[in-house]
Structure 1
C-alpha cells in the first residue's frame, strides 16, 4: 500500500494519541475478554531478513494468500507507527475455544516470479510476525533443502496453539509444517489449524513468556551493576579526599600574612594556579547562545530519561507495541519547559541579550538534528519500499507536538528562567582585560582533558550498553528498567566527579576556558559509545546491506547525540557548582 494512502489513517490514529497522551500497556481496542465462538482476529504484520531487524516489509509484499479487497487495518499509537508496524486482518476464521482441523487458506499457483520472490526470501532468512490478541507469533518463510542447497522449501501449514484461562487468551504459539519444494508450475495448498488449550496462568503474567530472564538477569549483569556501584564509591571518595585536601592546603596558603608574600607567590605559581585566574574564570564563554541551548536540552533529556525509566518500571511499558517510543516523544514535548528554563537562566546570568535566538535554538536544535537524520533514513526506507518509512501523516503529528506543545513550553520556560535568574552575582569580579593563558604540558590542554573525561563514565555503562544494544538489535524485550535506573544514576555521579577533576586540573593550569571543556569532557562519553557500536556491529551482529547499515549507524548516531548532550549538560552544571564553591571561599581583590 503506498505511503500516501496510509498517511490519513496514521494521522487519525496519532491525533487520537494526542487526546490520550500516553497509551499504557493495558490499553487496547477491547477488554481482551471473549465468549465461546467469539471471533478472534489474526493480524499479519511484517516480513524481513532475520539478521536485519529494521529492514521490514508489508507481509503481502510476498505472494502469500491475499485477503479480500479492503481488509481492515489496526492502527496503533505513534510509537507503533514509528516502529514500522502495519497490522492487517488476515481474514482467517478463528473462533474462541473452537478447534480447527487442517483447513485450507488458499491455493498458490507458482510461476517464475513467485518462485523467485520466495527463493530470495528464504535465502535471506526472512521471518514474519503475526498478532493474536496483542500477542506476537513469529516464524520463518521456509528453509533450504538440506540435501541440495539449490532447492528451497516453503512452509505451507501453520499450526497455531492458543492457551486460554477462562475468557482470556494467555499464550499463543506457532509451529510450521509441510515444507514443499518451490517449482515453477506447481500448486501449493496453504493450510492452517487451531488448537485451544487451558492454562493456569493469570492474564497479568501472560507476557512473561517473552522475557529472557537468563540473559538479562545473568550473573555478569549483576556483577556489572556491583562493579559500577563500587566505582562510584571509590571515585566520589577519591574526588572528595584529593580535592578537599588540596583545596584546604590552597586556602591555607592564600590566608598567610603579607610578610610571607614571596613564599606565597612561589607556592601559588608552582602548585596553586587556579586562584590566579579568579578575574577571568567567570568570564562569559564563547558561543554563549549554543552553550545555553545544549545545557538546557541536556538537562531536559536527563529529566526525560529518568521520567521514562520510572514510568517503564511502574507501567511495564515494554508490553505495548511502541509504548516506550510514544512515551518518550510525548514526555519530551511536555518537559520542554525545563530546557527553556535552564537555557534562559544561563543565558541571562552570563549577560546574553538576544534571548529569542537562544530560545529558538533551545527548542529546535535537538528535534531538528533528529529530524535531519530521520529524513535521510526515511529516504532510504522509501527507496526500499520498507515499512520503516514514516508516513507523511505521522510526520505532521510529530510536528504538531513540537509546534503546539514543545515550542510554547520552551518559550514559557525561557521567559521564566530569564526573570528568575537574577543578576550574575559571581563570587569574583571579572577583569576588563583577559589574562593570557600560559602554555602547559600536552595532557593539561582542553582537548586532551575533554577526550579523557569520557573514559570512566563509559566504563560505568559499558556492560549495560551491551544489553541495550542486544535488546534493540536482536529481538529481545528489554524489561530490567530497575537496572537501567541504577546505571543511569551511576552515570550521572561518575560524570560529575570526573568533570570536576578535569575542571580543577584545567584551572590549576591557569586555563579559565572551563565551560566548554567541562561540557565536552562529559559529552565525550558518547564518542566511546559510538566507537563501541562499530565494534558491536562487526562482531556481535550479522547485519548486512546498505539499508540495515544506514539504519544501524543512523539510529546509533541519534542516540549518541542525545547521550552526549545529556552528559555534557550534567558535567557543565556539576563543574559550575564546583567552580562557584571554590571561588566563594577566597578573597578576590
Structure 2
C-alpha cells in the first residue's frame, strides 16, 4: 500500500520532478520556496522516515508505524526531486497547523485506540531503537519513538506522545528548530493514546547562512588525525614523485646510453678494421658492455599494438574520463554551494552532470577506439554509453526487490526508474554519439612514434613477481594507502549520522590520489616493459583500478568492526552499494593511471629509433 501510494504520487508529478531536478542542479540555493515567510504564513512540518538507529539505510515511511495525522489536510506546496526519490526520501504532510511566529499552546491533534497489532508494531520499533526524521523549512529534526524500562524480569514499553517544537527565527527566516519529546506513555493494548504538539517561537541571532552549523561535527571531521592523514599523504606524494623521477630517469638514461653505444659499435664498418682480430675485439667489447639484448626497447615494435577487446577497453576509458570530470565538478560545486544543506542535491547534480557530460565519454572512448584501429564504432558508442548505467541499474534493481519485500522507503518507484531510463536513452546515448563522432574526426588518427610489427613478438618467460596479475595487485596498494583515512570519513558520513561537509579535504585527497596513482602505475608499467611484456594497456588500467579491491575489502572491516549494522536488508544494501562505489572508483583511478602511463610510454619510445 505504501509503495503504491508513493508510485501514484510520483506519477502525478513526473514532469515536475524532471524540471525541478534540472533547476535544482543549476542553482545552488534552489528549493520549493524562498525560505522567507510573512507573519502568520503556513510553515509545513514534513514527516520523512522511521527506522532502526544502527541501520541508517533501513528506513520506512513515518506512517508505516500506527502514528496518526493531524487534522489539517491541505497545504500550499509539495516538493520532491529525483535525488530525493532515489535516496528514499518520503515527505508526507504531518497534518499539524504551524504558522510563522504564531505560538501554539499544547494541543491534542489525534488519538488512537491501541489494538494488539498496533501494540506489536510500536514495541517492535522500540526494541530496535527506531528513530524518525522530520523537516521544517528543510531543517532536519530527529526524535526517538520510545524507550524500554525493565522492572525485574518484566519489560515495560513507553512511547513519547508530545512533540514540543522550539523554533528560532531571524527577521523573516527560520534559522533553528529544536524538538523535545515529552509525554512518556506506557503502551498497553486496549487503551487510548493521544498525541499532542506545542510550538514556541523566539528570536535568534544565528544568521541564515549559518543555520546548518549545529548539525556539523568539526571535532570529528577536522580532528588532528584528519590533518595528519592529509599531511602523511602529501609527504607520500613528494617521496613517490621524487623516487619515481630519480629511478626512472636514472634507469632510462642508462638504457639510452647502452643502446646508443650499441648503435655506435654497429656503425663501425668492418672495412676500416685491419684484421679479423679487430672485429673480434669489437664483438667482445659489445658483449662485455652491452650483454644480451633485453629490456623495454626490445618491445618497441609491439608496445603500441592494440590491446585485446578494444571495444570494452575504450568504453571503460571513456567512462572513466566522464567520471573524472563529474567527480571534479561535483566536488567544486559542493565547495561553492554547500550542497550538504539540501536534500538529494548532490545526487541530483551528479545525475544531471553525468547526463550532460556524455560527450566527454563519447569523445574519449571513440577517439581511443579509432586510434586502436577499431571499425565497429557504433557498437563501441553504445557499449560506452550504457556500460556504467547498466551496471548501476542492475545492482539497484536487485536491491530494490529487497526494499519492496520489506516495504521500505528505499524502494524506488517505478516511474522514477522510467525517468532515469529515459535520461539514459534520450539524453546520454545521443550526446555520447555526438562525442564519438567528434572524437573520431578530431583525435582518431593513430600517431605512434614506433611502427607496429606485423607478427606479434613472443613474450618471454619471467619471474613470478613480474607477472601482470602480481603487478596489478601491487599497483593499488599505494593509492589506497593515500586515501584510506578519508575513506573512513566518507563511509561514516554515508552509513552513520554524520553530515560530510569538508569537500575541500576531498578535493585535496582527490588530487593526491591522482598523483600517487599515476606514479605507481608508471613504475608498474616500466617493470612490465622491462620484462619484455608489451601488454601494458590492460595492465596499467587494472593496476591503477585495483584500488577498488582494497576499498571493498576495507568495507568488510568497516562493517564488522566500526558499525552495529544487522539484518539481511541492511547487509544487502551495504555490500551492494559498496561494490558499486568500489567499481566506480576502479574505473576512475584506472583511467587516471592509463592516461598517465600513456604519456610516459609515448615519451620514452619517441626517443627510440625504430628498427
TM-score (norm 2): 0.93
CA distance in 1, matches of 2:211, 2:606: 58
The answer to whether the Cα contact below 8 Å between 2:24 and 2:345 also exists between their aligned partners in 1 is no
1:213 aligns with 2:218: yes
Q: 1:299 to 1:67 in 2, by over 3 A?
A: same
How far has the Cα of 1:97 moved from its partner?
Answer: 1.7
For the residue of structure 2 that corresponds to 1:32, the secondary structure is: coil
1:275 aligns with 2:297: yes
1:244 aligns with 2:266: no
Provide, for residues 67-116 of structure 1, a one-character-per-residue CA deviation record: whole Å limited to 9, x for no partner.
46966583321111111111111121212222222211212211111110
CA distance in 2, matches of 1:414, 1:107: 63
Match of 2:500 in 1: 478
Task: Point out the structure with max Rg over C-alpha.
Answer: 2
Match of 2:490 in 1: 468
CA distance in 1, matches of 2:333, 2:51: 31
Decide which of 133, 151, 154 is 2:159's aligned counterpart. Answer: 154
CA distance in 2, matches of 1:71, 1:192: 19
> Which structure 2 segments of 5+ residues have no match?
267-281
CA distance in 1, matches of 2:539, 2:243: 22
The answer to whether the Cα contact below 8 Å between 1:253 and 1:264 also exists between their aligned partners in 2 is no
CA distance in 2, matches of 1:519, 1:267: 36
Q: 1:397 to 1:234 in 2, by over 3 A?
A: same
1:66 aligns with 2:75: no
Matches within 5 A, 1:121-160: 121-147=125-151, 150-160=155-165
The answer to whether the Cα contact below 8 Å between 2:47 and 2:62 also exists between their aligned partners in 1 is yes
Q: 1:154 to 1:419 in 2, by over 3 A?
A: same
CA distance in 1, matches of 2:141, 2:21: 29
Matches within 5 A, 1:162-311: 162-256=167-261, 257-258=264-265, 264=286, 273-311=295-333
Match of 1:33 in 2: 36
Decide which of 52, 59, 64 is 1:49's aligned counterpart. Answer: 52
Decide which of 78, 81, 106 is 2:82's aligned counterpart. Answer: 78
For the residue of structure 1 that corresponds to 2:410, the secondary structure is: coil
Match of 1:557 in 2: 579
Match of 2:19 in 1: 16
Q: 1:246 to 1:90 in 2, by over 3 A?
A: same
How far has the Cα of 1:15 moved from its partner?
Answer: 2.2
1:110 aligns with 2:114: yes
CA distance in 2, matches of 1:333, 1:504: 37
CA distance in 1, matches of 2:9, 2:574: 25
1:97 aligns with 2:101: yes
Matches within 5 A, 1:398-409: 398-409=420-431
CA distance in 1, matches of 2:188, 2:291: 86
The answer to whether the Cα contact below 8 Å between 2:215 and 2:499 also exists between their aligned partners in 1 is yes
Which stretch of the first structure deviates more once superposed, 486-495 or 401-410? 401-410
CA distance in 2, matches of 1:365, 1:193: 53
Q: 1:263 to 1:70 in 2, by over 3 A?
A: farther
> Which structure 1 segments of 5+ residues have no match?
none
1:537 aligns with 2:559: yes
Provide, for residues 486-528 of structure 1, a one-character-per-residue CA deviation record: whole Å limited to 9, x for no partner.
0001111100000000000000001111110000000000000
CA distance in 2, matches of 1:577, 1:243: 14
For the residue of structure 2 that corresponds to 1:145, the secondary structure is: strand
CA distance in 1, matches of 2:395, 2:297: 44
CA distance in 1, matches of 2:293, 2:164: 77
How far has the Cα of 1:261 moved from its partner?
Answer: 5.8
The answer to whether the Cα contact below 8 Å between 1:10 and 1:81 also exists between their aligned partners in 2 is no
Q: 1:357 to 1:128 in 2, by over 3 A?
A: same
Match of 1:388 in 2: 410
The answer to whether the Cα contact below 8 Å between 2:18 and 2:82 also exists between their aligned partners in 1 is no
Q: 1:528 to 1:264 in 2, by over 3 A?
A: farther
The answer to whether the Cα contact below 8 Å between 2:21 and 2:348 also exists between their aligned partners in 1 is no
Decide which of 83, 87, 90 is 2:91's aligned counterpart. Answer: 87
The answer to whether the Cα contact below 8 Å between 2:23 and 2:30 also exists between their aligned partners in 1 is no
Match of 1:498 in 2: 520
Decide which of 592, 596, 599 is 1:577's aligned counterpart. Answer: 599
Matches within 5 A, 1:299-448: 299-448=321-470
Match of 2:546 in 1: 524
CA distance in 2, matches of 1:93, 1:68: 8
Q: Give the count of matched residue pairs.
A: 589
